[in-house]
Copies of this chain bind each other. A is one copy, B any other.
Amino acid sequence: MNTVTAPWKQLLLNALHSNSHLRHSSYFQLATIGSNGRPANRTVVYRGFQDTSNKIQMNTDCRSHKIEDLKQCPFAEICWYFTDSWEQFRINGTVDVIDESNPDPLKLQQREKAWFASSPKSRLQYLGPNPGLPSLGDQPTEVPSSLDPSAGPVAAYCLLVLDPDQVDYLNLKSNERITFSRKNANEDNSWTSDRVNP
């Protein structure tokens, strides 16, 4: 367990707090490498840090392209720009893809916990048709209107956990930039920091 907070994590928690009046402050862009070798980039919702660690959680659909991307190349970079405080966090790390076939019981527990932490409404989207496939019919796609709130994660639900090892922080109000690097892959809270030119 961590007793000390990573230095960039405190900056990020402060930014989340000072921008919390904006719904989109919990949205960031996740870049991966697509199976065609080209960069891929999409908006994803922040689902909190995992317990007391520095790991960032996201929910996704097992049928989305980013799952294939991450299975081929587990590296990703989050770009998170806070529109009110003018702060940017670029968070580079490795993503763990936790679907229902995961062999680790602890990870399956984390997946279940994250499922119940998301709203019943957001759980419903995993019952919709296969994302990215041609839409049948002329109407906007429909999803079922209800789901038993006590039911566990459905097959299409996947938890993504990004373990950061490099963070680039930029503050456009103070014109300051700091890069943080993890010293040791086995230690969560051993980081170097360097002030660099913006």
B-contacting residues of A (Cβ < 8 Å)? 22-24, 27, 29-33, 37-43, 73, 75-79, 81, 83, 88, 90, 92, 128-135, 140-141, 174-177, 179, 194-198
Contacts and interface: CB of A to CB of B under 8 A. Distances in A.
A198 B126 CA distance: 11
A37 to B, nearest CB: 8
Given A39-B32, A76-B39, A176-B140, A134 B81 contact: no
Contact of A141 (B33, B37, B198): B198
Contacts of A29: 29, 31, 41, 79, 81
A65 to B, nearest CB: 10
Nearest to A93: B38
A77 B40 contact: yes
Contacts of A38: 33, 75, 77, 92
Closest 7 CB pairs between A and B?
A31-B31, A31-B41, A41-B79, A29-B29, A31-B39, A38-B75, A41-B77
